[in-house]
Amino acid sequence: MMIDYPQDATPLDHDEIVGLKILHITTREELNRFEQDNINEAMQWLVTRHKSDILTEKFIKTLHNKMFGKVWRWAGSFRRSGKNIGVDWMQIPVHIHSLLADVRYWVDRHTYPHNEIAVRFHHKLVWIHPFPNGNGRHARLMTDIFMKTVLKQKPFSWDNENIDINTRARSKYIAALKKADTGDYSTLMDFVQSNSKTF
Ligand SMILES: Nc1ncnc2c1ncn2[C@@H]1O[C@H](COP(=O)(O)OP(=O)(O)OP(=O)(O)O)[C@@H](O)[C@H]1O
Ligand SMILES: [Mg+2]
């Protein structure tokens, strides 16, 4: 299959493409559609699931599996290959553990305002880049679930546009993440709370 990736998406290596469960997919558009259907099922599952602690490695993996498990064999498993972004793959569990501990600490000690805790959580999760693909969509949903269940507040608007594909919102989102890579979260804070449709 030929996959043309959107800007700053993670390309899959050969072994990962072999993990495609639906063999008749031939285009990126078809793949997107199957993934989106799978994500919609995950949203249904979220409503009915047994409410457990979400700040765990187990939940992070379960959510990824629910979102992509019908499409990819490696869904719900941390990556075993290097990517253009992300930590060394052998260090993923360690980084995830320290992120989860940090987030708990920030919540308990009120280290940052709630929105900033959620933004820092989101950025660090995509920065670690735990999965072969789907990291952006997974980390955005994970952040929304975190805001609802732990912070007890409304999730972000994420600019109310489809940032999975090449849009102006996506360019703004990626630029804001790159700035956050340098420790400056201000642009990402603005982005997640903005709504271009109101302009
Ligand atoms: N410089 C960066 N720093 C941190 N995170 C980044 C950076 N560049 C890209 N990302 C994140 O990586 C994601 C792309 O990774 P991946 O392809 O695994 O996820 P995805 O869900 O398939 O992506 P998407 O749906 O956003 O196309 C982006 O959506 C963004 O969240
Ligand atoms: Mg991708």
Secondary structure, 3-state, 68-118: HCCCECCCCCCCCCCCCCCCCHHHHHHHHHHHHHHHHHHHHHCCCCHHHHH
- Among 31, 138, 174, 192, the mutation site with the greatest number of ligand 1 atoms within 8 A of its Cβ is 174
Domain residues of the chain, as ranges? 14-156
Conformation bin of residue 160: beta by default, left when phi > 0, alpha when psi is -120 to 50: left
> 25 alpha carbon to ligand 1 midpoint, in Å?
22
> 187 alpha carbon to ligand 2 midpoint, in Å?
22
Radius of gyration, CA atoms only, the chain: 16
Of residues 157 and 56, more confidently modeled: 56
3-class DSSP state for residue 149? helix
> 167 alpha carbon to ligand 2 midpoint, in Å?
14
**How would residue 1 be classed by pLDDT, with cut points 50, 70 and 90?**
low
Provide mean pLDDT across the span 137-158. Answer: 96
Fold category of 14-156 in CATH: Fic-like fold (1.10.3290)
Q: Is the pTM of this model over 0.75?
A: yes
- Cα angle for residues 187, 192, 197 (degrees, 5° grid): 110
**How would residue 6 be classed by pLDDT, with cut points 50, 70 and 90?**
confident
What pLDDT is attached to residue 36? 95
- Cβ–Cβ < 8 Å for 64, 132: no
Question: Does the beta carbon of 165 sit less than 6 angstroms from any atom of ligand 1?
Answer: no
Predicted confidence (pLDDT) at residue 197 exceeds the cutoff of 60? no
Contacts of 123 (CB under 8 A, 6+ apart): 177, 180, 181, 185, 188
Question: Does the beta carbon of 127 sit less than 6 angstroms from any atom of ligand 1?
Answer: yes
**How would residue 199 be classed by pLDDT, with cut points 50, 70 and 90?**
very low
- Residue 188 half-sphere exposure toward CB, CA atoms < 13 A: 24
Of residues 57 and 8, more confidently modeled: 57
> 74 alpha carbon to ligand 1 midpoint, in Å?
17
- What whole-number distance in Å separates Cα of residue 104 and Cα of residue 194? 26
**How would residue 67 be classed by pLDDT, with cut points 50, 70 and 90?**
very high
What pLDDT is attached to residue 11? 78
Provide mean pLDDT across the span 58-74. Answer: 98
Ligand 2 (single-atom ion) residues, CB below 5 Å: 9, 133
